[in-house]
Structure 1
Amino acid sequence: MRNIYAILIVLLFSSCQDFVDETPKGNLIPKTVDDMGMILDAFDVYEPNAIAYGHGNQTLMTDDSKLPDDIASSARPSVVNSYKWAEHLFDVSVSDQNWDGFYHVIYLCNYILEKIDDAPEGAGEYSRAFVKGSALLNRAHSFFILVNLYAEHYDENTASTALGVPLPLESDINTKYGRATVADVYAQVLIDLKEAVKLLPNKSEYTFQATKPAAFGLLSRFYLYRGEYKKSWQYADSVLKIMPELKDYNKIEQYEPGQPDFGLDNWAPYSGWEKPDVILYKDMGDLSSKYYMSDELLVLFDPTTDLRYRNFVTNYKYYSFTEDPNGYRYSDEADVNRGISLGEVYLTEAEAKLRDNDIDGALKALNDLRVKRYLVGTADVSETNSDALLQIILDERRRETLFKGLRWFDLKRLNKDAKTAKTITHTLFGKSYTLEPGSNRYVLPIPRKVIELNSLIEQNPR
């Protein structure tokens, strides 16, 4: 892999100083196309200029997770607050990783987009089109995640007035921004993605680099969230025309049966960006690395035929054969990419085609995925009742995208329909907490630290 840290990029930049109060420092102002390309290759989230920041802190809020009492007793307050859907997740003096991380990415992308057209080439390692398209895609992804975390789900009847998130499109750290509307944020995401599609290549060397399928995949998700189902499945189909092959989980074997932590044969170890089926890699930004599975989630898996369960789920403690009293968890060996993955695209196509009254197309997309996720010989789904098939697809999506950061967004959008709305209950230290469909708690609070820095930003009602 090329040494992307050979030049320490400065960043006299910050993630917009009005949003966060830390200014990354380094040794060199990026000036050439190659310098800017290196910013976009900084995938390591432990580096100060990481472009591959991935969202977190809502994993524990969903119906997929449980937080055992003994884990909670030693966890950071923000972990417990997330699980309880507390009024505030972070103390006034503590930074919100989601807000800071994505606005940092946005700042880097804005800097690049301001400079790229006039920048000298450098050594020619990166093309100008690739760098510009990558910046557009990463900015679009960041705004899209932010608006879905800190604003209500998109509704065409309210989007033009509902408060979204600040929408900085320049790198001036002295400019303060209020909150744009949800409609305005979505509009900018669409502008960026459509331009990125024109500039990006079909393939890249690494999955943390931007590609045309990554832009198509995010467009497919974008239109699914907006309820424009024909466009959603058309963009999903655009992805599958370029990279249709899913990893066959029948070919994975555990080195130590029942304990995936010790490694898997025919599976990429350690580095998430090397996992199969990753289209655009974004790292985890969670408050907790222990993915204990809720009882409700566990019953959705067939432990005999579902290879995601057989390959990645264990009830042993980490790297041991001692039974874990807290129950079942997802191994660190599993793919929990927070970006765009191929399995999501298949199931977006299935759901969007069903909602667009194409039952045959929905079944094909669903079964094309299932043949690579279930034991050889498992029967295809043949259900033709629309409501029943929708639930099958949604359950499959829940299994396929487990802990990849989508469940919270799916709950928000599915709560708009009484048929798929649900109430969630979490129990911690003997006390129950309930989240009703449409609750204000589905919209994360703006970090108090941010509001102290910028009085133009209005807090969400809780």
Structure 2
Amino acid sequence: MKIFNRIIIIILYITTSLFSACKKDWLNAKPDKALVVPKTIADYQALLDNTKGFANPMNIDLASLSMVGDGDYYITDATYNSLGSGGEQSAYLWAPNDNFYAGQGSNDWISSYGRILTTNVVLDGLGTIKPDQSNQAAYELAKGSALFFRTYDFYSLSQQLCKVYNASTAKSDLGLPLRLSSNVNLSVARSTLQETYGQMINDLIQAAALLPVTATYPTRPSKPAAFGLLARVYLSQENYAKALLYADSCLQINNALLDYNELSVTSPFPLSYFNKEVIFHTQLGGYLSFNPPNLIVDPGLYQSFEPNDLRQPIFFKTQAGIITIKTSYIGSAFQPFGGIATDEMYLIRAECYAREGQVNKALTDLNSLLKKRYKTGTFTGLTAADENEALAIILKERRKELCFRNLRWTDLRRLNRDSRFQVTLTRTINGKTYTLAPNSPRYVLPLDPIETTRGGLQQNER
């Protein structure tokens, strides 16, 4: 595929850049630095530690075109008409496939499969190394990290490019092309959705066994991060028993919560980078409509916060006369947080408890979280008559707590399968109204057109 040929050049650029900076003696032994390739465990770890580098950084530009269409915000006609990124206008209005990317490649596809190629370079390279006692821990960290990073991208892409998981059709529904080798000459067709999820789950279970309990930096994967991603994967499958198991496993290691009373609601950046709730740090893609004041918060979302709920003044601000996003778990509103945090795990565990009929445990988790979000002394613990009422309360709080993390699209997809929670999205641009109905095929975005026209991959029907 042509995109992968471009990506492999970028990988070589990363390799040369990293090693020219930190492996000078080793490089000096090579007659041609452009031909340098990683060979040691430390070399492969260096590729994975490329958090913000020029080419294919591992912790930014997560696939997030789906958030453009999730209904938590809207934009003006002027902003819409100025959008230049391929696919952003189309995603905002849930457009059909025809010219969806406006003649451009998919940014999400290119950045995600670039990272996937990096992880495959690492995994293939590590496969040629036999670790000993002196480097076993470093080997396991690199291998577990590569498996985790690859799965993170597979998961993010699957929520955009594949149908919502349905156990009765997953063996025939189209999944992702599962690139598991750094050999770009291999032709890889789309897997089934069952195979896609199976690959993700198997890799994450393996990663969890290899990764340390505590990461040196939040940009590196860890055991609780692998558990947290497993909880997400199982939640999107509606496998609530397994989602509960792994959310609980994650929280058994790290259950820290920020007390929003200790934050400054008047600060322009009240939430700090790498705060104690962050289990794994990554950032969403840099779409123009995400940036304040282009992003106008959905009034229904904004008004759902009660007067003593500190999340409203911490998450949002008024700028240029409109209500927009103020901050996220990266310390600013630009390229919002797309990682894993403890608040999400509390909400997953609470939802799963409610679905199992364990109402008291569900509300204990929810109230533990909300107590840290309301002004001191103003929060009264929520109660519910039964599991259905508890579930409705938890899902409402889930949308509020996790807004602008690119999680709502997945929630809409799975919850639309339940008539109790179906949502119809509507937007008006340039005098025309557009609607996304529950369970619409347009909840599945089209593949990168280069991959379908030149690479032979089967396109999604929308």
Aligned to 1:167: 178
- Aligned CA distance change for structure 1 residues 117 and 101 (closer, same or farther; 3 Å): same
The runs of 5 or more residues in structure 2 that have no matched partner are: 17-35, 331-335
Equivalence for 1:357: 357
Once the two structures are TM-superposed, the CA of residue 124 in structure 1 deviates from its matched residue by 6.2
Query: What does 1:92-241 correspond to in 2, within 5 Å?
Result: 93-119=103-129, 127-241=138-252
Q: Is the 8 A contact 1:351 1:393 kept in 2?
A: yes
Counterpart residue number, 2:25: none
Matched position secondary structure for 1:328: strand
**For residue 9 of structure 1, what is the aligned residue in structure 2?**
none
Alignment of 1:32-431 (within 5 A): 32-44=40-52, 47-53=54-60, 54-76=62-84, 78-88=87-97, 90-91=100-101, 93-119=103-129, 127-254=138-265, 257=266, 260-261=267-268, 263-264=269-270, 267-268=271-272, 272=273, 274-288=274-288, 289-290=290-291, 291-302=295-306, 304-317=307-320, 324=321, 327-332=322-327, 335=330, 336-377=336-377, 378-431=379-432
Distance 2:43 2:251 in 1: 32
CA distance in 2, matches of 1:365, 1:196: 27
CA deviation profile, 1:302-321 (whole Å, cap 9, x unmatched): 2x21111122211123xxxx
Contact 2:100/2:446 (8 A) holds in 1: no
Residues in 1 aligned to 2:447 and 2:403: alpha-carbon distance in whole angstroms: 26
Q: Tell me how far apart the structure 2 counterparts of residues 333 and 127 of structure 1 sit (CA, whole Å).
A: 32
| Aligned-partner residue type, residue 326 of structure 2 | S
Q: Quick one: which amino acid aligns to residue 54 of structure 2?
A: E
Q: Runs of 4+ in structure 1 displaced over 6 angstroms?
A: 120-126
Judged with a 3 Å threshold, the aligned counterparts in structure 2 of structure 1 residues 120 and 223 are, in CA distance, closer, same or farther, namely closer
Deviation at 1:221, TM superposition (A): 1.2
Q: Is the 8 A contact 2:282 2:339 kept in 1?
A: yes
Letter in 2 for 1:344: E
* Cα distance in structure 2, aligned partners of 1:126 and 1:37: 12
* 1:55–1:338 CA contact under 8 A, matched in 2: no
Amino acid at match of 2:110: D
Question: What is the TM-score with the length of structure 2 in the denominator?
Answer: 0.87
Q: Could you report, residue by residue, the CA deviation over 1:125-174 in whole angstroms, capped at 9, with x for unpaired residues?
A: 97001001101111111111111210111110000000011011111101
**1:20 Cα deviation after fit:** 6.8
Residues 315 and 216 (structure 1 numbering): CA distance in 2 closer, same or farther, change over 3 Å? same
Choose 417-426 or 379-388, whichever is displaced more. 379-388
Give SS of 1:58's match: helix
Shift in Å, 1:333: 5.4
What is the distance in 2 between the residues matched to 1:250 and 1:409? 30
Residue 284 of structure 1 aligns to a residue whose secondary structure is: coil
Letter of the structure 2 residue corresponding to residue 394 of structure 1: L
- Paired with 2:368 and 2:358, the residues of 1 have a C-alpha distance of 16
1:353, 1:362 within 8 Å by CA — same for their partners in 2?
yes
The residue identity in structure 1 corresponding to 2:168 is N
Query: For the Cα contact (< 8 Å) 2:240–2:355, is it kept in 1?
Result: yes
Instruction: Compute the TM-score of the two structures, normalised by the length of structure 1.
Output: 0.87
C-alpha RMSD of the superposition: 2.1
How many residues of Structure 1 are paired with residues of Structure 2 in the alignment? 425
% of aligned pairs identical?
A: 32
- 2: distance between equivalents of 1:181 and 1:401? 30
Q: Residue type matched to 2:58 in 1? A: I
Matched residue SS, 1:113: helix
Question: Are the structure 2 counterparts of residues 332 and 360 from structure 1 closer, same or farther at C-alpha, using a change threshold of 3 Å?
Answer: closer
1:387: Cα distance to partner? 2.2
CA separation of 1:286 and 1:442: change in aligned 2, threshold 3 A: farther
Letter of the structure 2 residue corresponding to residue 420 of structure 1? F
Distance 1:121 1:50 in 2: 27
Secondary structure at the aligned position of 2:255 is classed as coil
Residues 286 and 407 (structure 1 numbering): CA distance in 2 closer, same or farther, change over 3 Å? farther
Post-superposition offset of 1:276:
3.7
